[in-house]
Structure 1
């Protein structure tokens, strides 16, 4: 649940940076970031505690990010298509992060949410969906790698087949 909440925070942050850059720049502070992180760590255990006592807010809590991710992605696509000041590689990186967040959520968490909503025990679906949820830390690592600026280029440069020789044509050897 915490992973899903942080993915929502990442998508919301990208959305606000692109769609409302001036508002976001004025409102961003360390206090608000710390408060959001504390809320992200406090709210999921409360929801889980309510779920244990059969109030069942857990599937709804986990299903709520899906329309948010789609809304953030569509909003960013619209804003970036109208923007001429953002370089195309930066546009691809921003959209790629949001698409990756949506894919991680859809592929890893949605099967478990569907299993929870069905309320019918199916061993195969349960085991498969639980295996996908357990892959979430690996997906978080991939998301972190894509969020870092220039890390993909560094990874590709470290692979021997992608190395480029730095022969400078302008310098002459005498």
Structure 2
């Protein structure tokens, strides 16, 4: 039997029972996890800091969308810092456990801000007049504060050894809740595009691109891990491989960086123009 019986849930480190006084992390730190952590952190950490700085300069009273993306990137920074701690294999068990709880907190916050980004983009298209007079920095900051506090409240019991709120099914349901919302925001936006005349075409492309990216991020990186984790929880499969689960979610911070392109005016048109020129060049060479 392993020295530690660690059951990795979405926080990956919550439920820990010590069966031996010897502390070793080798059984739980695979080569795959180490490589992906190094790739994500080496690329993601500097680019995320640059993106936050660039987005901060775009925040205005009538442009609050960057605020949600900034908070999303901050949650990504916290996750990547936890990756660094796990790769370093701390000798202190408390540091290892606390970093797992913090990662679970930031992961929940990340999903929450993905919903906020999608909701804000949806309102710009579906309710342009109403949203134009309702959006302001104060309301946005209150929403961000709520998104940060809710996961924190759910994480507090972990510090005192209570796991009721962290049962497998509860966690899975919590992380599945954004899925129908993200689909609704994208479908509602596409439906309202034809009747929206107050939003410029370039802005429409940026909004649709943002919603598609957020949904793809969730479906490709979060959803497989959640489904896999839920099935393992239902079947009580103690041999559940946490490494493959966490590797999916590890790449989410890199996907979130692409949101910066859709927040910057003119960037989408330049990107599309570049792709069109590359396609024309390829067709000419083949012809």
| TM-score band, normalised by shorter chain | 0.7 to 0.9
Take 2:269 and 2:193, find their aligned partners in 1: how far apart are those partners? 23
Counterpart selection for 1:101 from 214, 231, 237: 214
Take 1:30 and 1:91, find their aligned partners in 2: how far apart are those partners? 22
What does 1:26-37 align with in structure 2 at a 5 Å threshold?
26-37=133-144
Q: Does 1:53 align with 2:163?
A: yes
Partners of 2:210 and 2:262 within 8 A in 1: yes
Post-superposition shift, 1:42? 1.2
Post-superposition shift, 1:65? 0.5
Q: Report the CA distance shift for 1:123/1:58 in structure 2 as closer, same or farther (over 3 A).
A: closer
Take 1:90 and 1:27, find their aligned partners in 2: how far apart are those partners? 19
Counterpart selection for 1:134 from 235, 245, 250: 250
Q: Does 1:41 align with 2:153?
A: no
The CA deviation string for residues 128-164 of structure 1, in whole angstroms up to 9 with x for no partner, is 2201111111111112223322234567899xx87xx
Q: Report the CA distance shift for 1:144/1:122 in structure 2 as closer, same or farther (over 3 A).
A: farther
Post-superposition shift, 1:4? 1.0
Take 1:114 and 1:50, find their aligned partners in 2: how far apart are those partners? 25
What does 1:1-174 align with in structure 2 at a 5 Å threshold?
1-49=108-156, 53-55=163-165, 56=167, 57-118=170-231, 119=233, 120-124=237-241, 126-152=242-268
Instruction: State the aligned residue count.
Output: 160
The CA deviation string for residues 77-136 of structure 1, in whole angstroms up to 9 with x for no partner, is 110023345444433322121111100001111122113312134544x32220111111
Counterpart in 1 of 2:9?
A: none
The CA deviation string for residues 15-72 of structure 1, in whole angstroms up to 9 with x for no partner, is 1111111211222122111111111111112234457613333221110000001111
Take 2:204 and 2:179, find their aligned partners in 1: how far apart are those partners? 22
**TM-score normalised by structure 1 residue count:** 0.78
Q: Which runs of 5+ in 2 are unaligned?
A: 1-107, 279-287
**TM-score normalised by structure 2 residue count:** 0.50
Take 2:268 and 2:135, find their aligned partners in 1: how far apart are those partners? 27
What SS class does the counterpart of residue 116 from structure 2 fall into? helix
- C-alpha root-mean-square deviation of aligned residues, in Å? 2.6
Q: Report the CA distance shift for 1:81/1:128 in structure 2 as closer, same or farther (over 3 A).
A: farther
Q: Report the CA distance shift for 1:152/1:79 in structure 2 as closer, same or farther (over 3 A).
A: closer
Take 1:28 and 1:123, find their aligned partners in 2: how far apart are those partners? 45
Q: Which runs of 5+ in 1 are unaligned?
A: 163-174
Q: Report the CA distance shift for 1:83/1:28 in structure 2 as closer, same or farther (over 3 A).
A: closer
